[in-house]
Amino acid sequence: MNRRIAEKNRPERGSPGLRIQRNVICLTALFLLPLVHPSLYAGDHKPDAPVLTLDQVVEGLGRMNRFRAEALKKYTSVREYHVKIDGIVHRRAEMIARMAYVWPDQKTFQIVSESGSELMRNHVLKATMEAEKESLRKDNRERTTLTPDNYEFTLDAVEGSPPAFYVLKATPRINNKFLFRGRIWVEPQDFAVTRVECEPAKSPSWWTKKNRITTTYQKVGDFWLPAHTESVTDVRIFGRSVLTIDYKDYNLVDARRLPAASQEAEAARPRAGSKTAPAP
């Protein structure tokens, strides 16, 4: 009897729980691209007269992200994946993989070890890797970059004094599975995103009540790469699923040294007295 009950509760290959998790993976993959560095945050306050305007922050962010992306040709890292579903069913799976990136749009994965639910490994964790590859396609990169063409930005807060971080609200201009709505933390010295807290721009399914994604980044040499991603999804009836990814052992195989990185950041920062439109 117990065996029959267990078999009945096992999620089917096409069950809403797995379909939702696979859809959420698409957005999670977006944050696996090289961006920025996580830091501790000082007390925050609403900005009255920020040192930089919204336009200056957004322009500097876009310029420096392009500069870093073009300079990093090859790198490798180790990924530790963990996923679990708790509710009317309970499933867990883990996987460790080596990732190799070649500019501009190639990623390969070599699985080192795996354990737990085979269904979760095949239809969630391996799907995460495939979605990460898909997010690198040229059309997807162009549609999902943090630029005014893809997002409307507003200044939400300034943290620290002098400003250590500018917190921007990002609202997508279209519904796309790789776009998000939420907040980004921008560090003004390197014009680098250090943290993202968001939800998908496009709801994966009616079954999804809420999906929260948080990603932080770490500085590796002159470049800013993912450190940790957590995606928490509340699913109607099924319960809650949690997907986490930890990124370790980065090796910059072919990276153009950026001795002028600080100068580029300074060039992106308009000089005192320059005329720039105020933040809306």
Q: String of b and e for 250-261 (b: at least 16 CB within 10 Å)?
A: bebeebeebeeb
192 φ, ψ to 5°? Answer: -130, 140
pTM of the model: 0.78
Joined together, the tokens standing for residue 151 give 């997002």
Q: How many other CB atoms are there within 10 angstroms of residue 8's CB atom?
A: 8
**Contact between 119 and 91 (Cβ < 8 Å):** yes
Neighbours of 26 (CB within 10 A): 23
Tell me if the bond preceding 162 is cis, omega within 30° of 0.
yes
Find residue 219's DSSP bridge partners. Answer: 224
Paired with 235 in beta bridges are 208, 239
Per-residue pLDDT of the chain (280 residues; tens, 9 = 90+): 444 444 444 444 445 455 545 555 555 555 555 443 333 333 444 445 458 999 999 999 999 888 888 899 999 999 999 999 998 889 999 999 999 999 999 999 999 999 999 999 998 899 999 989 998 998 888 888 899 999 999 999 999 988 899 999 999 998 887 899 999 999 898 898 999 999 988 766 645 667 899 999 888 888 888 999 999 988 777 788 999 999 999 999 999 876 544 455 566 555 544 443 333 3
DSSP state of 111: E
Q: Strand runs (DSSP E) across 88-176, as ranges? A: 90-102, 106-116, 151-159, 165-172
